[in-house]
């Protein structure tokens, strides 16, 4: 069974630009969560989607948004990029909302110059 | 507001000895706790979990202990192996809410 895939793996953008990251969950998994990892901050929860609906949301500004498609694939978008948005963005999938075991993808490394 | 804290950024242990990674939390409503392991350039992988109704869960070399009164959990690895060298994250959740992660502890197991 294929794992969680994320594209692209690496991305370099400049301040003010926007970016879209993509995540394909494990086949059969319907819940997708997004996290931001920065040094010293651990993994910060961004949002969780299930059946194309946002179920949980973290404490991030409105520049961070996401969506989920009918095939459970998910995208997250960051608009008006800031230097502080440089981070590893991780996607995790699980069978259902609240399923405790989440399976993570390798992440997208975003660098904002 | 850091609800889950891992106060030790790093830990170094000799191969064959016990590794003890600690985690503290502030929200007494958390009812499920997990540990994840992360190697460089890979996403975190699930290691072991424990429900708040238990105080211990064991899986091979890995044991998680939960002390609800102290709002503290720990991960014991016995015996430690060089391949265990990684970043370890503890995480907690309440009901079907979001997973809240600690900052991570980098474990180095020396041969």
Q: Do B103 and A41 touch (CB under 8 A)?
A: yes
Mean pLDDT along residues B33-58: 93
Confidence band, pLDDT 50/70/90 cuts, at residue B66: very high
Output the pLDDT for position B1.
63
pLDDT, mean of residues A57-73: 95
B30 touches chain A (CB under 8 A): no
Does any CB of chain B come closer than 8 Å to the CB of residue A60? no
Beta bridge partners of A104: A92
Cβ–Cβ below 8 Å for B89 and A33: no
Q: What are the CA-CA distances from residue B50 to residues A45, B57, B62, B99 (Å)? A: 20, 6, 12, 14
The position carrying tokens 């391949």 is B83
Q: What b/e sequence results for A23-53 when a residue is b if at least 16 CB atoms lie within 10 Å of its CB, and e otherwise?
A: bbbbeebbbbbbbbbeeeebbbbbbbbbeee
**Whole-number Å distance between alpha carbons of B77 and A11:** 36
Q: What is the mean pLDDT of chain B?
A: 94
**Digit-coded pLDDT (tens) for A3-22:** 999 999 999 999 999 999 99
Residue A43: strand pairing partners: A37
Residue A36 pLDDT level (bands cut at 50, 70, 90): very high
pLDDT at site A1 = 63
SS3 assignment, position B36: strand
């Amino acid at each position: 069974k294929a794992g969680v895939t994320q594209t692209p793996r690496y991305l370099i953008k400049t301040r003010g630009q926007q970016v879209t990251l993509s995540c394909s969950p494990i086949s059969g998994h319907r819940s997708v969560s997004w996290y931001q990892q920065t040094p010293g901050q651990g993994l910060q929860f961004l949002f969780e989607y299930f059946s194309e609906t946002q179920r949980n949301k973290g404490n991030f500004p409105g520049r961070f948004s996401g969506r989920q498609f009918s095939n459970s694939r998910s995208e997250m978008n960051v608009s008006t990029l800031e230097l502080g948005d440089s981070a590893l963005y991780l996607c995790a999938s699980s069978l259902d909302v609240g399923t405790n075991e989440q399976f993570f993808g390798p992440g997208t490394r975003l660098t904002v110059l | 507001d850091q609800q889950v804290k891992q106060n030790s950024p790093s830990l170094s242990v000799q191969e064959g000895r016990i590794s003890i990674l600690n985690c503290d939390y502030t929200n007494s409503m958390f009812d499920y706790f997990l540990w994840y392991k992360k190697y460089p350039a890979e996403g975190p992988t699930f290691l072991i979990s424990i429900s708040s109704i238990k105080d211990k869960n064991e899986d091979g070399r890995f044991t998680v202990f939960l002390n609800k009164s102290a709002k503290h959990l720990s991960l014991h690895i016995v015996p430690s192996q060089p391949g265990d060298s990684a970043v370890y994250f503890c995480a907690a959740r309440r009901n079907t809410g979001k997973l809240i992660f600690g900052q991570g502890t980098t474990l180095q197991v020396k041969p």
